[in-house]
Amino acid sequence: MSRFSSTAQGIVLMVASIFLFSLMDVMIKSAAATVNPVVGIWARYSIQTVLVTLIILPKMPGVLKTRYPFLQALRSGFVVGATGLYFVSFAKLPLAQVAALMQIAPVIITLGAAVFLREHIGPRRAIGVAIALVGALIIIRPTPDGFTPWTLLPLGGALCYSAYVLATRFVGRDESVWTSLFYTALFATVVFSAAVPFWWQRLTAAEAGYLIAAGIFGTIAQLLLIRAFALAEASILAPMGYSGLIFAAVWSMVIFGEAPDMATYIGALVIVGAGLYVWQRERQATRAVTRQ
């Protein structure tokens, strides 16, 4: 498999993962107004644990072996932290605003990949990330009025998510996708199973449906995400995360009646342009190396 084909597959899987995560966000936002975050997060990861366990049963016990038990627990803690912060954010802020604030994550991922994973960040990737960040800032419009205490929640979630992605990229080099997916769900389920009796509430049929759908979408999205980062470098995939802004804007308008303003459209176009720029330049660079 050539380097470009692996990178291309990673990018496609990354975008598909972001799309499914955006659907999960819609389900969570629909439930977050009335469902306690502890109950919601417990349901989301319990469903993932059941689904993954059923899938990996034929592969047990081999799939349970991990070379990085501490790092698996740490990355699971990061994704649980991100999920919890986003869950509360959706109850307090519009979907499009949360999605915009989350877009600081690709910048953190790219910088973290250079510091912790020793990945090279050439001028093409740096330019792509910078342009995408400008697009995100156009949408966020960082003014003193924009940064209420609630806006710190998705920013904290972005930091946790970035740490999760970097840890996923590291363990994904040596371990099965199913191993990482199983331990992510198991850790969250164990932690929140201990807490949920103190916060339990009776769910309506609609609330239960939202949480079940969120669990299914989230499970598939995480599987695709882990595979994507096993195929391509984190700094290449990071700008693709900005596609979540496009999905969030569509769902905000179609489902929640929150029509994005002109700044959101302009910022989204800038972000898409940055992603296409990185894709095209990486493809050209790979072709040049192949011809040599």
> Position 92: which residue type?
K
Q: Is 257 left (phi over 0), alpha (psi -120 to 50) or beta?
A: left
Amino acid at 31: A
Mean pLDDT, the chain, whole residue set: 81
Average pLDDT over residues 259-273: 76
Range(s) of the domain holding residue 220: 3-291
Q: Is the pLDDT of residue 253 over 80?
A: yes
Dist CA 289 CA 292 (whole Å): 5
pLDDT at 244: 84
Out of 7-16, 113-122, 140-149, give the one with best mean pLDDT: 7-16
Give the model's pLDDT for residue 256: 86
pLDDT, tens only, 197-246? 999 988 999 999 999 999 899 889 988 887 888 888 776 787 777 788 78
Question: Which residue has better confidence, 108 or 22?
Answer: 22
Eight-state DSSP code of residue 255? T
The model's pLDDT over 34-52, given as tens digits with 9 standing for 90+, comes to 999 889 889 888 998 898 8
Length of the chain equals: 292
CA distance linking residue 252 with residue 233, whole number of Å:
31
Categorize the per-residue pLDDT at 1 as very low, low, confident or very high, splitting at 50, 70 and 90. Answer: very low
pLDDT at 285: 61
pLDDT value for 45: 86
How many H-runs (helices) and E-runs (strands) does the chain carry? 12, 0
- The structural domain count of the chain equals 1
Average pLDDT over residues 158-166: 88
Q: What percent of the chain has pLDDT over 70?
A: 87
At residue 113, does pLDDT exceed 80? Answer: no
- Please report the pLDDT score of residue 193 as a whole number: 92
Checking if the pLDDT of 23 tops 90, the result is: yes
Torsion angle defined by CA atoms of residues 126, 131, 133 and 139, in that order, rounded to the nearest 10 degrees: -170
What is the per-residue pLDDT for 222? 80
Mean pLDDT of 20-30: 92
Q: What is the pLDDT of residue 207?
A: 92
pLDDT surpasses 60 at 82? yes
Q: Which residues of 82-109 are buried (b: 16+ CB within 10 A; e: fewer)?
A: bbbbbbbbbbbbbbbbbbbbbbbbbbbb
- φ/ψ of 32, rounded to 5, equals -65, -25
In 3D space, the residue among 183, 250, 202 whose CA is nearest the CA of residue 18 turns out to be 250
Lowest mean pLDDT among 17-26, 86-95, 124-133, 184-193: 124-133
What is the pLDDT at residue 19?
A: 94
pLDDT tens readout for residues 116-144: 777 776 777 778 778 877 877 777 666 66
157 has pLDDT over 60: yes
251/245 Cα distance (integer angstroms): 10
